[in-house]
Chain A
Amino acid sequence: MKINFEHIQAAHCENGVTSNLLKYAGVNNITEPLAFGIGSGLFFIYIPLLKVNNGPAISFRTMPGLIFKRTCNALDIPVVRKTFRSSEKAARFLNECIEAGQPVGCQVGVYYLTYFPKEYRFHFNAHNLVVFGKEEDNYLISDPVMETVTTLTSAELDRVRFAKGVLAPNGQLYYPSAKKEVSEEQIKKAIKIGIKRNVRDMLYIPGPVVGVAGIKYTANRIKKWRDKLGLKQAGTYLAQLVRMQEEIGTGGGGFRFMYGAFLQQAHAYHPNDTLLNVAEDFTKAGDLWRSAAVQAAGIYKGRLGSQEDFNTMGDYLLEIAEIEKKAFKELSNIKW
């Protein structure tokens, strides 16, 4: 059984699963940037006391699962979401969906994902893919970050659906439960909601570690890392920052370029030139994030290492925080 499902590669797994599943459900105009922006995906958080893989816990996007949820909600599309205690029941439900012609999004762990390069396989459990068919013992897999479709045996799929540890998927699957036409008016409204919520998330969540304030906070912490952690561990921390920013399907520049693309696409629905101007600001912010990454690499590769170099690194982030603050302020001033 093979469902006629179109695999479109995306930068990020959840955006890709969301846009590809929605397209299948009849939302023809959906794209990865639109799903990302409507789901208010852009974010920044640095959680000082929490360690991930022995490095700082930093994220450039919103919590896993929210983009799918918010985007479907905003477009008024009903969703089925299920987790399972037993892998037999999980497999049976999945098979029933496929037989009924329904492609299904699955949350999986990456560590045992056989088609990924070994160097990428950590115990990260919030990866997403679409199952769109089954041929004998092989499930047909559309993993949005891969260029082409791939397969997993039923044992392999079961293993990643029931990965253990933080954010254990417990076999979670999800899909839009009805095919539906979405009007241009609905997309317009969804874009507006998405931007407003993103303004709130980046500017107005209280506390020093979230949003634009969080970028500033991280900037000032980085300036102290050399003395506090020593050069070696500071390098490890900076490398982790760069990986969160560039490695995990961000589309480059910690999702800032993707958000710029979203604002340009939003302009087709809301012909307000502020959107285009702010898109340019995000291009600039993304470019600065990339420059900061080059500076960080200088440090963790041992070419740089003075306090001055750490100050330069921190100053990049301060400059970024200013640009993003101004950008979101302008978005919040739009009269819709």
Chain B
Amino acid sequence: MKKEELPQDPSVLDKFTKDLCYVVDESGNYTTGLSRGWEVKAAALDLAWGDIKERIEEAKQKALKGEISPLLFFMELRLMDMGTLAGYSGFWKWQIKRHMKPSVFNHLSEKKLERYAKVFDVSVDDLKNVRGNEN
């Protein structure tokens, strides 16, 4: 990539930093350049976030219908997989899988609910009622 071809498209990095890239000058020697962003990768990141938002919404609808416990919604909201939630909550993966069932979740002790609420950074009440915040 030639230095003058380095894209300078607006991106989410604006106001944070710039991307350092390796580029060649007119005689083919490598040097570095800073890039604001590249529309091609901004679109890839947008798409990833679009997918995440879809999964959050889907999990929310399922939880509100009582098909699955609110845990899935909060996992999606906080971008977690089973292993990450297990790490932060201290529950085993098999326990979390059980807690995904509304029938099991609805009978969890206050103490266990608090553990989840703390990880997701919400109140126990919000946890039970599928109310997420944008932190």
Which residues of A are interface residues toward B (Cβ below 8 A)?
9-11, 33, 53-55, 111, 115-120, 122-123, 145-148, 164-166, 168, 235-236, 239-240, 242-243, 246-247, 249, 251-253, 257-258, 260-261, 264-265, 279-280, 283, 286-287, 290, 293-294, 296-297, 300-301
Distance to closest chain A CB from B98 (angstroms): 20
A240 to B88, CA, bound (A): 26
CB-CB contacts of B8-35 with A at 8 A, as 1s and 0s? Answer: 0000110011111111100011101010
A116 to B13, CA, bound (A): 8
Distance to closest chain B CB from A294 (angstroms): 6
Residues from chain B with a CB closer than 8 A to the CB of A253 are 1
A-B contact pairs, 27 of them (CB 8 A): A11-B19, A54-B51, A123-B81, A147-B34, A164-B84, A164-B87, A165-B83, A165-B87, A165-B88, A236-B51, A239-B44, A239-B47, A240-B48, A243-B41, A243-B48, A246-B41, A251-B21, A251-B22, A252-B23, A257-B1, A264-B30, A265-B30, A280-B28, A293-B41, A297-B40, A297-B43, A297-B44
Which residues of B are interface residues toward A (Cβ below 8 A)?
1, 12-13, 16-24, 28-30, 32, 34, 38-41, 43-45, 47-49, 51, 55, 79-81, 83-84, 86-88
A123 to B55, CA, bound (A): 17
Residues from chain B with a CB closer than 8 A to the CB of A165 are 80-81, 83-84, 87-88
A279 to B40, CA, bound (A): 25
Instruction: Select A33's contact among B1, B22, B84, beta carbons within 8 Å.
Output: B22
Residues from chain A with a CB closer than 8 A to the CB of B55 are 54
Residues from chain A with a CB closer than 8 A to the CB of B19 are 11, 249
A89 to B44, CA, bound (A): 40
